[in-house]
Amino acid sequence: MMGQGTDPVEAGIVESLARPGGNVTGVTNLSRALGGKRLELLKEAVPKLARVAVLNDPVATGTVLQMKEDLPIAARALKLTLHSWEVRSADGFEKVFAAMGKQRPDGLYVLGAQLITTNQKRIVGFALKSRLPSTYGNKEAVEAGGLIYYGADQAESYQRVAYYIDRILKGAKPADLPVEQPMRFEFVINLQTAKKIGLTIPQWTLMKATKVIR
């Protein structure tokens, strides 16, 4: 398991993080648990942020739970209004983009799912064209032109997966190898994108970043 977005215990994939108990182990990236932090950092980067469009795939269980349970709590604390925009197929993006554009949100929060990741370039392109500050749970989206990524250090996660593969190939049972949570996190800001959409990132926010794309 590499970067499971949902809670693997809650999803029934493993019995517990300490003792998986089955045929699955690896790394969980805490993506769902970090949703509130992503909203907080987007608000820091865009102090006037008030209305946030949340792009999500309602078929993906983890994103549904984030939209219904996690993000509303963070939004209330930050005094943000969330508007959920559901996309169910690749053919649905243009319709959603057109409707979202008419609503003129202040920012875009992209919830990770297979459909979303596959259409990442289209989403980034829409955000740039609409001059929307955007945050993602996928670093590649920010490297492609999105504004902000916050999440587990992906290089470290891949290294740990290699460790698990090595142990299992040498005879270890997945059931006996505890699922690891990330120890390090990345906060990436694409300053090129900020300039393109006419946004000035506050200095104190830039200082928090682990990487700035200039």
**Per-residue pLDDT at 181:** 87
Q: How confident is the model at residue 68 (pLDDT cuts 50, 70, 90)?
A: confident
Which tens digits make up the pLDDT trace of 87-98?
999 999 999 999
Q: How confident is the model at residue 11 (pLDDT cuts 50, 70, 90)?
A: confident
Which tens digits make up the pLDDT trace of 143-158?
999 999 999 887 888 8
User: Which of 15-19, 160-164, 208-212 has the largest mean confidence?
Assistant: 208-212
Domains within the chain, CATH numbers bracketed = 4-27+154-176 (no CATH), 35-152+184-213 (3.40.50.2300)
**Per-residue pLDDT at 212:** 97
Q: Where are the alpha helices (DSSP H) in the chain?
A: 35-45, 61-65, 71-78, 93-103, 114-118, 120-129, 139-143, 154-169, 191-196, 203-208
Which tens digits make up the pLDDT trace of 28-65?
876 667 889 999 999 999 999 999 999 999 988 778 78
**Per-residue pLDDT at 102:** 94
**Per-residue pLDDT at 6:** 65
**Sheet of 148-152: strands edge to edge?**
81-86, 51-56, 107-110, 134-136, 148-152, 185-190, 211-213
136 SS3 class: strand
Q: How confident is the model at residue 4 (pLDDT cuts 50, 70, 90)?
A: low
Whole-number percent of the chain with pLDDT over 90: 70
**Per-residue pLDDT at 3:** 65
Q: Is the pTM of this model over 0.95?
A: no
**Per-residue pLDDT at 60:** 80
Own/partner pairs for 139-146, CB < 8 Å, 24+ apart? 139/186, 139/188, 141/110, 142/188, 142/189, 142/190, 142/193, 142/213, 143/188, 143/190, 143/213, 144/120, 145/190, 145/192, 145/193, 146/110, 146/190, 146/193
* 102 vs 155, higher pLDDT: 102
